[in-house]
C-alpha cells in the first residue's frame, strides 16, 4: 500500500519516469482483496489516467464533464481482463473519484446509445456504484475494518447519496428497462437499482407517473422472461415497495393484477398436464415458466389468497403415474416449501383467526410435503439437491422449542436421508468430472459441500441422532481435502453436545469402515497389512483426536470405545441393527472358530494412548477375561501390549504400518511409515 502511495507521489512530480509496463502491475491491484491496497492503486489510477483526462473532458461537446472519464473507465475495465466483477473496481475508486457517483451521466450514456459497444459493462458499473453508495457495503471477499455501527456523519452521507440516486434514477429507470428489456443479464442488473430508492420521494416529488411506468415495465418483464434471477429480482422490488404504505397502496392494483395472472397461468398449465396424455415440449416449457414465475413471488410474499397448494402437490403426487419433468418438479417443491413456511409464519405471528384449524391444516400440509420429499429422494437421487435442502429447512422449522409442531422422523426416512447424502456427497472422481471445466467443478463441489453442511445441521439441531454422524465420519480421511473442515466442525460440535454419543458415532464409523473392507476382502478376512486396513488405522488416528489430550475429561467416552456397552445405530440396510463396540466386536466368533474381526483390535490401539493408567488396567482385565482363547493371535498380543505400556515408552511389539501413497486426503508421502500411535496427536 505504501509502495503505491510512493509511486503516486513520484508520478505527480516526475510524470515521465514511469512507463506503461511499470504501471500495469499497479493497475491490477485495484482488483486485490485488501481494500487499503486497492484504494491506493485506485488513487494512482486517478492520478495517472482520470485526473489527466479531466481537463480534456471539460471542453467536450457531450455536455457531461465526466462522460469521457466514464468511457475510459469502462475501457480500462474491459481491457484489464483481471476480474469478472466490477464491484472491486468501483470500491477502489468510489471514495476518491466523483465520476463513480455521476449516475445521470451513466444513465444518459446508456439511453443515448453512445455506450452500445460496452453497455453491459457500464450497467454493471452503474449498479455496483449505486449499491455501494446506498448501502455503504463493499464487495464480498474484500477485507476491510469492521465497524460496530455507522457514525452519524457516515449515515448522513448514505442518506444523501440514496436521495440523489432516487432523484436521478427514478425517472430514467423505466426507460432503461424498456430499452434493454430483451436482454436477461441487463434487466436482472438494472431492476435491482429500485431496491435502493427512497420510496417517499415518489409521492413527495410527484413522481407517481414514473412509479406506474416502472410497474408496467416490470409486468412486461415478468411476461417476457422466465429466468429465476430476473423473476426473483422483480418480486423482491415489488415486495420492497410494500414497505411504504403510500407506495404500497399506489402499486396494489398492479401487484394483484400480476399475481392473479400468474396464478391463473399456473392453474391452466396444471389442468393441461392432467388432461393431456403427454405434454409436448412447448406445453412442458409453459408449465415450467408458470411454476418459475409464481415460485419467485412465493419466496417474498404470502400467496395464501390464491390457494396453490393442491395444484403444486398434484404435479408431484400424480395418481396416473404421469411424471413431470425434473425442472418442473423442482420448482413445485420450492413452491410447496415456501407456502409451508408462510403458513407457519402466520401461525407463529398470531395472524390466523382460527388457530386450531390453521394448526390442523399446517400439520396436514407438513406431513404431505415430507412424505413427498422422502419419495423424491428415492426417485431422483442425482438431481434433487433443492428438494433435500427444503427437507432440511422444513425439519428445522418444525423443531420449535415448544415442541407442539415437532415432527418425528420415521426410520425409513432417516435411511433415505443417509443414503442420499452418501451417494451425492462422497463421490469418487470419474472421467466426466475430469472433462468438466474448472468453473463447473467448483460449482459441483460447492453443491456437495452444501449438502454435507445441511446434513450436519440435522444432527446438530437434534433432528437426527448424533450416532448418525457415523455415516459421514467414515469418509473423514478419504475426502479430507474436500470436506475435512466441515467434518471437523461436526465432530467438535457433537462432542460439545454429547460426549458419549459422539464416542459411539466414532465407534460405529470404524465398524462400518471395517465391514466395508471385510466385504471386499477374499474370504472375509481383513489383512492388517492391506491398504484398506492402513486407511482404517489412519481414520482411527484422526478420530482419536475427538477425545482431546486430557485423559481425565475423555475417560468416560473412551470407555465406550474399548469396553462392552451396547449401542444402536441406523445401518445402511433395511432395519435397525445392534452391534457391540470394541473388544466384543473384535472377539465375537462361533465356538472354537477364529474371530473374523480380530484384526479390529489393532484399530483400538490408536485410542489406547488416550487412556489413564488405571483405565488401561481395567480394560486389560476385561480383554483377558473375554479373549483367553485367542491369546496367541498377533492382533490380540499387539493390543494387549498397548494397554500394558505407558504412552511415552517404546513399544517394540507394535506392528509398523505399511507405507502408503498420497491419497485424496492429506495423506502421508509414499514410503513414509505411519508414526507410532504413541506419538504426537494429529
- The confidence score (pLDDT) of residue 682 equals 37
With cut-offs at 50, 70 and 90, classify the pLDDT of residue 680: very low
Span 648-657, average pLDDT: 46
- The confidence score (pLDDT) of residue 53 equals 47
- Structural contact between residues 517 and 538, judged by C-beta atoms closer than 8 angstroms: no
- Structural contact between residues 508 and 568, judged by C-beta atoms closer than 8 angstroms: no
Q: Mean pLDDT for the chain?
A: 81
How many angstroms separate the Cα of 268 from the Cα of each of 272, 307, 328, 338? 6, 14, 15, 21
Cell 413427498, residue located? 372
DSSP for 201-240?
HHHHTT-HHHHHHHHHHHHHHHHH---HHHHHHHHHHHHH
> Whole-angstrom Cα distance, residue 248 to residue 301?
13
> Whole-angstrom Cα distance, residue 483 to residue 478?
9
User: Which run of H or E residues covers position 474?
Assistant: none
How many angstroms separate the Cα of 562 from the Cα of each of 25, 452, 586, 636? 60, 29, 10, 13
Query: 577 phi and psi, to 5 degrees?
Result: -110, 160
> Whole-angstrom Cα distance, residue 584 to residue 571?
18
Span 421-425, average pLDDT: 90
Dihedral of the alpha carbons of 647, 648, 649, 653, in degrees to the nearest 10: 50
How many angstroms separate the Cα of 86 from the Cα of each of 54, 140, 353, 509? 22, 12, 49, 47
- Give the up-direction half-sphere exposure of residue 233: CA atoms within 13 A in the CB hemisphere: 21
What nine digits make up the cell of 147?
A: 465497524
- The confidence score (pLDDT) of residue 173 equals 96
- The confidence score (pLDDT) of residue 640 equals 84
With cut-offs at 50, 70 and 90, classify the pLDDT of residue 212: very high
> Whole-angstrom Cα distance, residue 436 to residue 240?
39
> Residue 553 carries which DSSP code?
T
> Whole-angstrom Cα distance, residue 670 to residue 114?
62
Instruction: Tell me the per-residue pLDDT of 383-400, one tens digit each, with 9 for 90 and over.
Output: 578 889 999 999 999 887
With cut-offs at 50, 70 and 90, classify the pLDDT of residue 223: very high
- Structural contact between residues 492 and 480, judged by C-beta atoms closer than 8 angstroms: no
> Whole-angstrom Cα distance, residue 102 to residue 106?
7
What is the gyration radius of the CA atoms in the chain, in angstroms?
32
**What share of the chain has pLDDT > 90, as a percent?**
38
- The confidence score (pLDDT) of residue 298 equals 96
Count of helices and strands (H, E) across the chain: 31, 2
- Structural contact between residues 119 and 180, judged by C-beta atoms closer than 8 angstroms: yes
Cell 466368533, residue located? 589
- Give the up-direction half-sphere exposure of residue 383: CA atoms within 13 A in the CB hemisphere: 9
Q: Shortest CA distance to 94 belongs to which of 104, 83, 84, 102?
A: 102
> Whole-angstrom Cα distance, residue 642 to residue 619?
11
> Whole-angstrom Cα distance, residue 64 to residue 50?
15
> Whole-angstrom Cα distance, residue 580 to residue 593?
19
Span 412-418, average pLDDT: 89
Q: Shortest CA distance to 424 belongs to which of 364, 467, 463, 376?
A: 376
Instruction: Tell me the per-residue pLDDT of 134-173, one tens digit each, with 9 for 90 and over.
Output: 988 888 877 665 555 567 888 888 899 999 999 999 999 9
Span 195-207, average pLDDT: 90
Q: What's this model's pTM, rounded to 2 decimal places?
A: 0.81
What is the Cα 172 distance to its own chain's centre?
Answer: 36
> Whole-angstrom Cα distance, residue 622 to residue 190?
73
With cut-offs at 50, 70 and 90, classify the pLDDT of residue 612: confident
- Structural contact between residues 237 and 191, judged by C-beta atoms closer than 8 angstroms: yes
> Whole-angstrom Cα distance, residue 623 to residue 600?
13
> DSSP alpha helices (H): ranges in 349-430?
355-379, 385-397, 411-425
**What share of the chain has pLDDT > 70, as a percent?**
83
Dihedral of the alpha carbons of 115, 121, 126, 131, in degrees to the nearest 10: 170
DSSP for 451-480?
HHHHHHHHHHTTSS-GGGGHHHHTTTTTTH
DSSP for 58-114?
TT-TTS-TTHHHHHHHHHHHHHH-S-S-THHHHHHHTTT-GGGG-HHHHHHHHHHTT
> Whole-angstrom Cα distance, residue 228 to residue 237?
14
Of residues 500 and 410, the one with the higher pLDDT is 410
Instruction: Tell me the per-residue pLDDT of 505-536, one tens digit each, with 9 for 90 and over.
Output: 888 888 888 888 888 887 777 888 888 888 88
Instruction: Tell me the per-residue pLDDT of 554-598, one tens digit each, with 9 for 90 and over.
Output: 555 555 555 433 333 322 222 222 223 577 777 777 666 777 788
Of residues 153 and 434, the one with the higher pLDDT is 153
How many other CB atoms sit within 10 Å of the CB of residue 604? 27
DSSP for 481-532?
HHHHHHHHHHHHHHHHH-HHHHHHHHHHHHHHHHHHHHHHSGGGPPPTTSHH
Instruction: Tell me the per-residue pLDDT of 113-142, one tens digit each, with 9 for 90 and over.
Output: 888 899 999 999 999 999 999 988 888 877
How many angstroms separate the Cα of 554 from the Cα of each of 138, 485, 492, 499, 561? 45, 23, 13, 8, 11
- The confidence score (pLDDT) of residue 380 equals 61
> Whole-angstrom Cα distance, residue 203 to residue 250?
10
How many angstroms separate the Cα of 597 from the Cα of each of 505, 533, 562, 603, 656? 19, 12, 15, 11, 19
Cell 455507522, residue located? 150
* 37 Cβ neighbours under 8 A, 6+ residues apart: 1, 4, 29
Cell 455536455, residue located? 63
Helix (H, G, I), strand (E, B) or coil at 138: coil
With cut-offs at 50, 70 and 90, classify the pLDDT of residue 265: very high
> Whole-angstrom Cα distance, residue 488 to residue 502?
12
CA angle 313, 315, 321 (to 5 degrees): 120
Q: Shortest CA distance to 234 belongs to which of 297, 287, 298?
A: 297
CA angle 56, 58, 62 (to 5 degrees): 105
Say how many residues make up the chain. Answer: 682
Amino acid at each position: 500500500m505504501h509502495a503505491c502511495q510512493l509511486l503516486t507521489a513520484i508520478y505527480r512530480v516526475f510524470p515521465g519516469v514511469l512507463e506503461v509496463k511499470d504501471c500495469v502491475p499497479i493497475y491490477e491491484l485495484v482488483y486485490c482483496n485488501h481494500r487499503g491496497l486497492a484504494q491506493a492503486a485506485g488513487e494512482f489510477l486517478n492520478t495517472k489516467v482520470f485526473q489527466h483526462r479531466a481537463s480534456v473532458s471539460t471542453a467536450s461537446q457531450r455536455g457531461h464533464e465526466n462522460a469521457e472519464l466514464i468511457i475510459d473507465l469502462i475501457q480500462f475495465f474491459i481491457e484489464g481482463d483481471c476480474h469478472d466483477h466490477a464491484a472491486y473496481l468501483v470500491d477502489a475508486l468510489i471514495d476518491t473519484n466523483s465520476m463513480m457517483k455521476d449516475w445521470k451521466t451513466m444513465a444518459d450514456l446508456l439511453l443515448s446509445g453512445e455506450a452500445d459497444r460496452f453497455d453491459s459493462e457500464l450497467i454493471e458499473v452503474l449498479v455496483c456504484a449505486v449499491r455501494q453508495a446506498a448501502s455503504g457495503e463493499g464487495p464480498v471477499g474484500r477485507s476491510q475494518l469492521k465497524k460496530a455501527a455507522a457514525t452519524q456523519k457516515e449515515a448522513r452521507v448514505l442518506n444523501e447519496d440514496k436521495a440523489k440516486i432516487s432523484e436521478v434514477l427514478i425517472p430514467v429507470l423505466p426507460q432503461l428497462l424498456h430499452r434493454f428489456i430483451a436482454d436477461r443479464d441487463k434487466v436482472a442488473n438494472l431492476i435491482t437499482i429500485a431496491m435502493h430508492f427512497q420510496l417517499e420521494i415518489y409521492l413527495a416529488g410527484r413522481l407517481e407517473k414514473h412509479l406506474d411506468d416502472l410497474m408496467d415495465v416490470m409486468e412486461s418483464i415478468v411476461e417476457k422472461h422466465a429466468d429465476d434471477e430476473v423473476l426473483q429480482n422483480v418480486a423482491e422490488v415489488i415486495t420492497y415497495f410494500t414497505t411504504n404504505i403510500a407506495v404500497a397502496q399506489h402499486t396494489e392494483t398492479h401487484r394483484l393484477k400480476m399475481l392473479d395472472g400468474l396464478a391463473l397461468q399456473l392453474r391452466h398449465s396444471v389442468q393441461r398436464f392432467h388432461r393431456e396424455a403427454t405434454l409436448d415440449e412447448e406445453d412442458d416449457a409453459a408449465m415450467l415458466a408458470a411454476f418459475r414465475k409464481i415460485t419467485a413471488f412465493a419466496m417474498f410474499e404470502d400467496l395464501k389468497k390464491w390457494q396453490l397448494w393442491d395444484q403444486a402437490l398434484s404435479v408431484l403426487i400424480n395418481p396416473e403415474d404421469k411424471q413431470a419433468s425434473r425442472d418442473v418438479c423442482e420448482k413445485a417443491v420450492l413452491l410447496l416449501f415456501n407456502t409451508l413456511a408462510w403458513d407457519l409464519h402466520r401461525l407463529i405471528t398470531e395472524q390466523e383467526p382460527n388457530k386450531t384449524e390453521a394448526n390442523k391444516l399446517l400439520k396436514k400440509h407438513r406431513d404431505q410435503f415430507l412424505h413427498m420429499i422422502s419419495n423424491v429422494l428415492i426417485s431422483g437421487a442425482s438431481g434433487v439437491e433443492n428438494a433435500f435442502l427444503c427437507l432440511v429447512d422444513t425439519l428445522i422449522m418444525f423443531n420449535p422449542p415448544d415442541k407442539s409442531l415437532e415432527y418425528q422422523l420415521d426410520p425409513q426416512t432417516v435411511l433415505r436421508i443417509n443414503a442420499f447424502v452418501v451417494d451425492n456427497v462422497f463421490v469418487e472422481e470419474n472421467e466426466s468430472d475430469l472433462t468438466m471445466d474448472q468453473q463447473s467443478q467448483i460449482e459441483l463441489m460447492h453443491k456437495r459441500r452444501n449438502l454435507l453442511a445441511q446434513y450436519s445441521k440435522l444432527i446438530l439441531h437434534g433432528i437426527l441422532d448424533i450416532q448418525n454422524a457415523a455415516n459421514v465420519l467414515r469418509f473423514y480421511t478419504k475426502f479430507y481435502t474436500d470436506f475435512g473442515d466441515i467434518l471437523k466442525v461436526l465432530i467438535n460440535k457433537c462432542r460439545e453436545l454429547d460426549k458419549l454419543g459422539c464416542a459411539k458415532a466414532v465407534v460405529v464409523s470404524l465398524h462400518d469402515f471395517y465391514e466395508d473392507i471385510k466385504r471386499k476382502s477374499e474370504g472375509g478376512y481383513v489383512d492388517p497389512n492391506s491398504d484398506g486396513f492402513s486407511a482404517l488405522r489412519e481414520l482411527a488416528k484422526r478420530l482419536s483426536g475427538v477425545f482431546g489430550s486430557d485423559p481425565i475429561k475423555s475417560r468416560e467416552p473412551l470407555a465406550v470405545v474399548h469396553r462392552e456397552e451396547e449401542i444402536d445405530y441406523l445401518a445402511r440396510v433395511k432395519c435397525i441393527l445392534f452391534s457391540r463396540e470394541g473388544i466384543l466386536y473384535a472377539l465375537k466368533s462361533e465356538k472354537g472358530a477364529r474371530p473374523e474381526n480380530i484384526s479390529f483390535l489393532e484399530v483400538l490401539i490408536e485410542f489406547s494412548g488416550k487412556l489413564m493408567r488405571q483405565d488401561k488396567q481395567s480394560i486389560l482385565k476385561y480383554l483377558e477375561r473375554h479373549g483367553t482363547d485367542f491369546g496367541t493371535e498377533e492382533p490380540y498380543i499387539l493390543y494387549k501390549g498397548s494397554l500394558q505400556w505407558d504412552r511415552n515408552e517404546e513399544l517394540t511389539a507394535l506392528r509398523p504400518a505399511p507405507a502408503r501413497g498420497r491419497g485424496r486426503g492429506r495423506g502421508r508421502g509414499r514410503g513414509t511409515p505411519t508414526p507410532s500411535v504413541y506419538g504426537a496427536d494429529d
